[in-house]
Structure 1
Amino acid sequence: METMVDDIGVVVVEALKAAGYAESTIGQCRKSIRILALLARKQGGLYTPGLGAEFALMTTRPRTGMFSAQRRFDYGRLATLFDSYVSTGRVSLAMRSRGGGVAVPQCADFVALWGAWSGDMERRGLATATRNAYGRAAGECLLFLEASGITSLEAAGGITVFGYLESLRGRWAPSALWTVVLNFLPFLTFVQRQDLLDALKMAHARRWHQLVRLLEESDEQLVIRACTRGDVPARDAAITLLALVTGLRACDIIALRLTDIDWRSSTLGIVQQKTGNPLTLPLPAVILGKLADYVLGDRPVSDVENVFLRAVAPHLALVDHSSIYSTTRRTFSLNPPGDL
């Protein structure tokens, strides 16, 4: 099995080609591989998961010093592909939830602490999404401590917590920092560091609530007309109409399977992702028609049972809420209701 960055890069590019990725995506991947190869020179071009974690953290543009969301995605994704090859001998192109994947610390004390925290969450039976969120908050803090020259949690103090939160301001909006605090609190409780908990609470990161406006009936008709007159692709139209007319949650639209649709009775039957309750809904003709247009005409050929798939390769199920939000946002932008 290959272990050098350049050699693994060749394997990754061939896997992307075989999966039908766009040439522009493959070109961007090659560019990231070249940068990773430059980073690997310090260890003779050898790739290790530690090098991948370091590469994934290179999210700042050298010329501007500003955080780059594109670099974060490209470098993090490439490190994940390289890690999958190193650990399994094959390149896994499985899509992750946005923000998925957790970088882990490298020093012995933090690795042991990380393992104990992960094991505790698993023993308590926390949901995967919860474990990922809690683990990401703890892991990013431990990585921050390592980068600051701190290799033991005992050496961290309240001022360290403030420094950690300050380091996040380049990529988190002030109104969203409360999520970091919320996900970090359980870890500090686990390690029994009341002083750090007190410092975290002193940061006063609060959740901002914004009133959500409802669409007027005339605005709803504008959206429906945009979806039915051919301005919107069948997949996007079906997703938007399901959200608008039936009120289904984004998670339920993502999880909707082909077998959930009863074409003869014009209904769909699901078990709700959030509540676990069964639900049967009638499907108006306008929604059923757009679903049929997508399934029979536009849906890529795939063994995946979910109704809605990615429009570009790999043609897998949509992975998180942002897929639904971006779809409805595109639909609304074609014929914006009112002044939304």
Structure 2
Amino acid sequence: METMVDDIGVVVVEVLRAARYKESTIGNYQKSIRWLAVLAQKDDGRYTPALGAEFASMTTSPRTGRFSGQRRFDYGRLVSVFDSYVATGLVSLVKGTRGAGIVVPHCAAFVALADAWSDEVERRGLAISTRSAYGRAAREYLLFLEASGITSWEEADGTTIFGYLDSLLERWAPSALWSAVTNFRPFLAFTRRQDLLDALTMARIRRWHQLIPELAERDELLVVRACTGRDVPARDAAITLLALVTGLRACDLIALRLKDIDWRGSTLGIVQQKTGNPLTLPLPAVVLGKLAEYVLGDRPHSDIPNVFLRSLAPHLALADHASIYAITRRTFRAAGVTQTKVGTRKLRHHAATKLLRAGTPLPTISAILGHSSPDSTNVYLGEDTEQMRACVLPLPAGTAR
């Protein structure tokens, strides 16, 4: 069995091509292999798990001198593949669930802290998606500390909070940074580091309450026509129609299982990933038909229980929210709707607004959208301007205008 980086790299690329990976993805692997070979020169080009661990920890960009999430992902992914080959003689391309590509810290103190936080969020009984987001935020901060030369929790101070938030701007838009802070704050509270919590508060990251433009009726019609025709693959059409009609969250679309669909009763029943609450929704004939077309005709043969799988090998469950966004974006483009940014958030707003205009009571809309609190539905009141105008009281006679 080969032990040289270059030789293992050849095997990995052959397996990737045999599995029909995209050439762009293979190119990213080859780029990482070249950098790994440079590091391996100190060991005469030989690969070991220890060398791989060192390579995976190289998360600082030499160009900017800052933490790079892309380097962390690419290097960690390659090391996982190389380690599988060294351990078994076979290249394993098996992917885990969302967040599996995240590299864990290396120093013992940070590993223990991350494990303790993982046990805590599990003990709290939080939803899987919430546990994943909380764990990822904690690990990313600990990795940032390691990349900054800090290997003791006591050494972390308020300046590292500002540096960490600054590093996130490489991947997050300023308007979305609030979401990252929301997932990060509980970890700091768990560690009882009030100084770090104070620094996070001083950063003054505020939530942006962005008004989401309504989806025009003409655009909706174009999308439905494309999904019910042959312009869009059955999988993409089914996902888009489900989001458009039911307002399901991306995490629930990803987690949807074959057994969740009642084909005879034309309903689907799930336990929501975000809230842990059960939810049963009716499926219109057009949605059910497109689901059946995908499951019976286009879905790859697999033992994976999820309904929606990757169309390219390996045929695993969809990875994360970004995959759903890419699918809905392609569908809208195929329908000729190119001027509208679309994702499940916009489609949830669209579904809620249509229900509101149809005179559906807010508690019913709240149940359909799977809100844990009916108050969460009040945000959609601002979308229906006609209904809002009807609530305006006339000025008393004689009042100055």
TM over 0.5: yes
> How has the CA–CA distance of structure 1 residues 40 and 139 changed in structure 2, closer, same or farther, with 3 Å as cutoff?
farther
TM-superposed deviation, 1:155? 2.5
* 8 Å contact from structure 1 (residues 52, 83) kept in 2: no
> How has the CA–CA distance of structure 1 residues 69 and 164 changed in structure 2, closer, same or farther, with 3 Å as cutoff?
closer
Q: Which residue of 2 is the match for residue 324 of structure 1?
A: 324
Q: Which residue of 2 is the match for residue 257 of structure 1?
A: 257
> How has the CA–CA distance of structure 1 residues 258 and 204 changed in structure 2, closer, same or farther, with 3 Å as cutoff?
same
Q: What is the identity percentage for the equivalent residue pairs of Structure 1 and Structure 2?
A: 64
Q: Which residue of 1 is the match for residue 289 of structure 2?
A: 289
* 8 Å contact from structure 1 (residues 102, 135) kept in 2: no
CA distance in 2, matches of 1:181, 1:27: 33
CA distance in 2, matches of 1:52, 1:170: 21
Q: Which residue of 2 is the match for residue 269 of structure 1?
A: 268
TM-superposed deviation, 1:196? 1.5
Q: Which has the larger radius of gyration?
A: 2
**RMSD in angstroms over aligned alpha carbons?**
3.3
Counterpart of 1:159 in structure 2: which amino acid?
T
Counterpart of 2:40 in structure 1: which amino acid?
A
TM-superposed deviation, 1:314? 0.7
Q: Which residue of 1 is the match for residue 79 of structure 2?
A: 79
* 8 Å contact from structure 1 (residues 267, 283) kept in 2: yes
Counterpart of 1:41 in structure 2: which amino acid?
Q
CA distance in 1, matches of 2:124, 2:246: 36
Higher mean Cα deviation, 159-168 or 2-11? 2-11
Q: Which residue of 2 is the match for residue 245 of structure 1?
A: 245
Counterpart of 2:277 in structure 1: which amino acid?
G
- Superposition pairs of residues 85-100 of structure 1, within 5 angstroms: 85=85, 90-97=90-97, 99-100=99-100
* 8 Å contact from structure 2 (residues 68, 170) kept in 1: no
TM-superposed deviation, 1:52? 3.8
CA distance in 2, matches of 1:230, 1:66: 46
Name the count of aligned residue pairs.
335
Q: Which residue of 1 is the match for residue 169 of structure 2?
A: 169
- Superposition pairs of residues 305-320 of structure 1, within 5 angstroms: 305-320=305-320
TM-superposed deviation, 1:226? 1.9
User: What TM-score do you get using the length of structure 2 for normalisation?
Assistant: 0.71
CA distance in 1, matches of 2:301, 2:211: 41
TM-superposed deviation, 1:267? 0.8
Output one character per residue of 1:217-245: Cα deviation in whole Å (capped at 9) or x when no partner.
33321211122232222221222122212
Output one character per residue of 1:60-83: Cα deviation in whole Å (capped at 9) or x when no partner.
474x88998765553342233234
Q: Which residue of 2 is the match for residue 189 of structure 1?
A: 189
Q: Which residue of 2 is the match for residue 198 of structure 1?
A: 198
- Superposition pairs of residues 44-123 of structure 1, within 5 angstroms: 44=44, 45-47=46-48, 48=50, 49-55=52-58, 57=59, 60=61, 62=63, 73-85=73-85, 90-97=90-97, 99-123=99-123
Secondary structure, aligned partner of 1:330: helix
Q: Which residue of 1 is the match for residue 142 of structure 2?
A: 142
Counterpart of 1:206 in structure 2: which amino acid?
R
Output one character per residue of 1:36-59: Cα deviation in whole Å (capped at 9) or x when no partner.
12123234433325224224x25x
> How has the CA–CA distance of structure 1 residues 212 and 141 changed in structure 2, closer, same or farther, with 3 Å as cutoff?
same
Q: Which residue of 1 is the match for residue 214 of structure 2?
A: 214
CA distance in 1, matches of 2:128, 2:246: 28
* 8 Å contact from structure 2 (residues 73, 101) kept in 1: no
